[in-house]
């Protein structure tokens, strides 16, 4: 979705946008396959406010995704909160500030109480903002590295492939580290 700076009024512009399942699928798989897939669409809430140098963009959504457990491959569902603040700086404004020097303090004040210095900066053309690539990147940043069904997931047996969370398979564990062999007879419940 593209928003033009002209659409942003004095009090800011609030938008609710549905992130379709296909948008999220592409976000999660296109550049690099994260292994995650969306469970469905998500609602993105964004607020845009003009600043002296461009636009302050705040957004939040919750994306529900699934992925095979990294150890046992069972399906893991998780809800990933995505929340971001981006300071979109117009390339033109950037040049102005360098040329004029001074007057910066007044401009900074007009940006409100928010500390712009601490928001991630992105450059844009000063006229329109394409939210899609920005949102895609923020969704990727919010994802965990990988999913596990539970912290103590035992994974699959290397010999027969049985899910060891469901019980022992009886295979000889030739790959057991000898240092751990002594633990083999302890019953885990
Ligand atoms: Zn697992
Ligand atoms: Zn086995």
pLDDT of residue 114: 58
Terminal C-alpha separation, the chain: 52
Q: Cβ atoms within 10 A of the Cβ of 26, count?
A: 14
pLDDT of residue 103: 46
Looking at all shown ligands, the one closest to residue 175's CA atom is 2
Whether 147 and 76 have beta carbons less than 8 Å apart is answered as yes
Mean pLDDT of 82-103: 75
pLDDT in tens, 24-46: 999 999 888 999 999 999 999 99
Q: What are 43's strand-pairing partners? A: 18
In angstroms, what is the span from residue 72 Cα to ligand 1's centroid?
4
SS3 51: coil
Q: How confident is the model at residue 92 (pLDDT cuts 50, 70, 90)?
A: confident
How much distance in Å is there from the Cα of 73 to the middle of ligand 1? 6
Question: How far is residue 45's CA from residue 84's CA, in Å, rounded to a whole number?
Answer: 11
Q: Which ligand is nearest to the CA of 67?
A: 1
Q: Average pLDDT for residues 12-22, to the nearest whole number?
A: 97
In the chain, the largest separation of any two C-alpha atoms, in whole Å, equals: 77
Q: How far, in Å, is the centroid of ligand 1 from the Cα of 158?
A: 14
CA of 25 to the centre of ligand 2 (A): 35
Average the pLDDT over 63-91 and give the result.
Answer: 95
């Amino acid at each position: 979705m593209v928003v033009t700076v002209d659409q942003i009024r004095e009090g800011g512009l609030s938008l609710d946008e549905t992130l379709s399942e296909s948008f999220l699928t592409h976000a999660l798989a296109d550049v690099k396959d994260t292994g995650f897939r969306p469970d469905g669409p998500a609602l993105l809430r964004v607020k845009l406010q003009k600043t002296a140098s461009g636009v302050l963009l705040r957004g939040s959504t919750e994306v529900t995704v699934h992925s095979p457990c990294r150890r046992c491959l069972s399906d893991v569902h998780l809800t990933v909160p995505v929340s971001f603040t981006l300071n979109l700086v117009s390339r033109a404004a950037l040049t102005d500030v360098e040329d004029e020097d001074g007057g910066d303090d007044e401009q900074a004040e007009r940006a409100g109480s928010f500390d712009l210095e601490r928001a991630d900066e992105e450059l844009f053309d000063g006229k329109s903002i394409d939210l899609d690539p920005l949102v895609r990147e923020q969704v990727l940043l919010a994802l965990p590295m990988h999913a596990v069904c539970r912290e103590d997931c035992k994974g699959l047996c290397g010999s027969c492939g049985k899910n060891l969370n469901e019980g022992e398979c009886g295979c000889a564990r030739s790959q057991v580290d000898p240092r751990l062999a002594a633990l083999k007879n302890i019953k885990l419940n």
